[in-house]
Structure 1
Amino acid sequence: MMDDMDSFFLSELHIYPIKSLGGISLEKARLEEKGLQYDRRWMLVDEEGTFITQRKYFELALLAVSISDNRLIISHKIQTNQSISFDLEEDNGTQIPVVIWNDTTAGVEVNTEVSNWFSDFLKFKVKLVKMPVAEKRMVDPRYALNDEVVSFADGYPCLLIGQSSLNGLNEKLQKPIRMDRFRPNFVFTGGTPHIEDQFDTFSIGGTLFSAVKPCARCVLITIDQQTGEKGQEPLRTLASYRTINKKILFGQNLLHQHSGIISIGDELKVINWKMENG
């Protein structure tokens, strides 16, 4: 059992509107059924409708995303003359099947111009699709608690990481890395490295969460989000002390019970702790 005197506070809040592109840091965000508002509601797919990510296309790290005047803006981090934008509500109205991991769900192309811009950037044919509001992509039933749904995120509506976990990793690395490698929605301060592994149920800003599954990490965390360059770290070092059942774990996947507003500075209050080896 952990020390109940520990205090935890939300220090960072991020959304990633287009899967595998740059994130947006926020002061506060609305938590909806599928996760934070606008988080992973758009995704790039190839001609077969299969999702595209940085795991294979490292250069996607160079595309920054912002929201302004009800528009989503995509811009190149280095070649600043490359950018495109579209209205948050825009799509062509025709649903197509899209594949993300083992799920087939629905997507709607934003428009041809946007898809062509991304095709030119990647040098092969892709479409940018939006998830329809009414679409129900279900969370893995082995971990779902109440038939929860998820956006185009890998599998769960939200991801939580403790700042102490990154600090502990950086102490082991020759060159420290930034939290953006891990693409969390929530970062909190307080406690020891990986204390989030012991959270069972907790609240942030009055919203109840359950930590249902550790996040297994992949090659994506070896891509520098500022340069798009791939290395061996931190995956190699992380594997040396965070491999459990042949998976490299860092952070906790979350489910939530209701909507609400989450803000930087909110206290994270642990309600139930997991057993030490649970």
Structure 2
Amino acid sequence: MENAKSFLSSLLSAGGASGRGAPAAAVSSIYVYPIKSCRGISLSQAPVSPTGFRWDRQWLVVNSKGRAYTQRVEPKLALVEIEMPNGAFDEGWEPTVDSYMVIKAPGMDPLKVPLVAEYAVADEVSVWEWSGPAHDGGVGAADWFSSYLGKPSRLVRFWTASEIRPVDVKYAQGHKVLFADGYPFLVASQGSLNALNEVLHEPININRFRPNILVDGCNPYAEDLWKEIKINNLTFNGVKLCSRCKVPTINQENGIAGTEPTETMMKYRSDHVLRPACKQKGVVYFGQNMVWQDSLLRTMNGKLVKVGDPVYVVREYASCADVPA
């Protein structure tokens, strides 16, 4: 950890070797959540795709009617751990018939889900505004999640070959996601978390906010204003402040919900405080929803984001009142 911090410090102080001027921050952590609402995987690198990092929110747990389960109604999902095969996050890696995703949870035997398999189609799967068919994860996965949650459940996989789930066109046209709530990437900063922890009675971990990219070296909440950034020559657009739901109040170590950090954030991170002249929704904000701008180019080539990559801010919003939310 100390070596990583030293590397980030030297990188930020080194300035503009790329010709863009000094970086505003550096990537300090990368997270991917293969099953929506289950625990994330911390990575040193991850391949970028138009729908987010590879494998991110590709699977979903649903009820008997095909409706998505999330931690909002099933906080026990916070305790479900995911393991992907070695090499799964290398650029160009492809699974074989011997490649499995391994799922673990307290009191449960590990479940192996093949990454290459022929499964039946699950009709009428729905998450938020979207509904459509998906790949059914099989009887074994259904039994495992039904036992763990204590109610009929299934594991489904997004049908990337036939289905498209666009992001809200009010914020970003032409972009798409799999089972993520709304946008392919969520960027937050260590500085923002540190500032929040300074005013909380008990500090919390960044896993409460489930970012994809955590950066370090910038001022608290600087990411609020990032309209366009570059990481490893990849261009990301900040399209919407991330309004937070109940999930950050759920302790990711035990699955128990409380009132913090939302109660404290309402005092200084609410729309009433940050966007007083805008229509009030009674929400708090933490992090910036982003899309990969290059994914709309026909000549797009996938690349990696790595821990230690410098973050260059190309364009910024003038204030939080100017940022879409």
Fold shared by both chains (TM-score > 0.5): yes
Match of 2:299 in 1: none
Q: Deviations over 1:114-134 (max 9, x none)?
A: 111000111111110000122
Measured after TM superposition, the shift of residue 58 of structure 1 is 1.1
Letter in 2 for 1:58: P
Letter in 1 for 2:140: E
Confirm whether residue 40 of structure 1 aligns to residue 68 of structure 2. no
In structure 2, do the counterparts of structure 1 residues 90 and 236 end up closer, same or farther at CA, with 3 Å as the change threshold? farther
Q: Which structure is larger by alpha-carbon Rg, 1 or 2? A: 2
Match of 1:255 in 2: 291
Contact 1:156 1:253 (C-alpha < 8 Å) held by counterparts: yes
Classify the secondary structure of the residue corresponding to 1:247. coil
Match of 1:23 in 2: 40
Contact 2:22 2:312 (C-alpha < 8 Å) held by counterparts: no
Q: Deviations over 1:171-192 (max 9, x none)?
A: 0111100000100000001221
Q: Deviations over 1:193-237 (max 9, x none)?
A: 111011000111111100000111111111111111111111111
Query: Residue 270 of structure 1: which of 313, 316, 323 is its match?
Result: 313
Measured after TM superposition, the shift of residue 82 of structure 1 is 2.7
Contact 2:208 2:248 (C-alpha < 8 Å) held by counterparts: yes
Match of 2:154 in 1: 127
Please give the root-mean-square deviation of Cα atoms over the aligned residues, in Å.
1.4
Measured after TM superposition, the shift of residue 86 of structure 1 is 1.1
Match of 1:140 in 2: 168
Confirm whether residue 51 of structure 1 aligns to residue 68 of structure 2. yes
Relative to its length, the structure with more helix (as a share) is 2
Letter in 2 for 1:251: G
Match of 2:12 in 1: none
Letter in 2 for 1:136: I
Measured after TM superposition, the shift of residue 106 of structure 1 is 2.9
Match of 1:184 in 2: 211
Query: Residue 9 of structure 1: which of 13, 26, 48 is its match?
Result: 26
Match of 2:240 in 1: 213
Measured after TM superposition, the shift of residue 153 of structure 1 is 0.2
Letter in 2 for 1:167: N
Measured after TM superposition, the shift of residue 141 of structure 1 is 1.0
Letter in 2 for 1:201: E
Structure 1 unaligned segments of length 5 or more: list them. none
Contact 1:91 1:111 (C-alpha < 8 Å) held by counterparts: no
Letter in 2 for 1:217: R
Contact 1:35 1:158 (C-alpha < 8 Å) held by counterparts: yes
Contact 2:23 2:310 (C-alpha < 8 Å) held by counterparts: no
Contact 1:105 1:137 (C-alpha < 8 Å) held by counterparts: no
> Identity across aligned pairs (percent)?
33
How far apart are the structure 2 equivalents of 1:218 and 1:139? Answer: 18
Confirm whether residue 225 of structure 1 aligns to residue 225 of structure 2. no
Confirm whether residue 108 of structure 1 aligns to residue 135 of structure 2. yes
Provide the aligned length of Structure 1 versus Structure 2: 272
How far apart are the structure 2 equivalents of 1:95 and 1:219? Answer: 28
Q: Deviations over 1:126-145 (max 9, x none)?
A: 11000012221111111113
Confirm whether residue 73 of structure 1 aligns to residue 102 of structure 2. yes
Letter in 1 for 2:28: S
How far apart are the structure 2 equivalents of 1:59 and 1:190? Answer: 34
Classify the secondary structure of the residue corresponding to 1:214. strand
Relative to its length, the structure with more strand (as a share) is 1
How far apart are the structure 2 equivalents of 1:91 and 1:197? Answer: 43
Query: Residue 162 of structure 1: which of 184, 189, 195 is its match?
Result: 189
Instruction: Return structure 1 stretches of 4+ with deviation > 2 angstroms.
Output: 4-7
Query: Residue 87 of structure 1: which of 105, 114, 118 is its match?
Result: 114
Measured after TM superposition, the shift of residue 91 of structure 1 is 4.6
Classify the secondary structure of the residue corresponding to 2:263. helix
How far apart are the structure 2 equivalents of 1:91 and 1:205? Answer: 36
Contact 1:91 1:109 (C-alpha < 8 Å) held by counterparts: no
Measured after TM superposition, the shift of residue 93 of structure 1 is 3.7
Classify the secondary structure of the residue corresponding to 2:78. helix
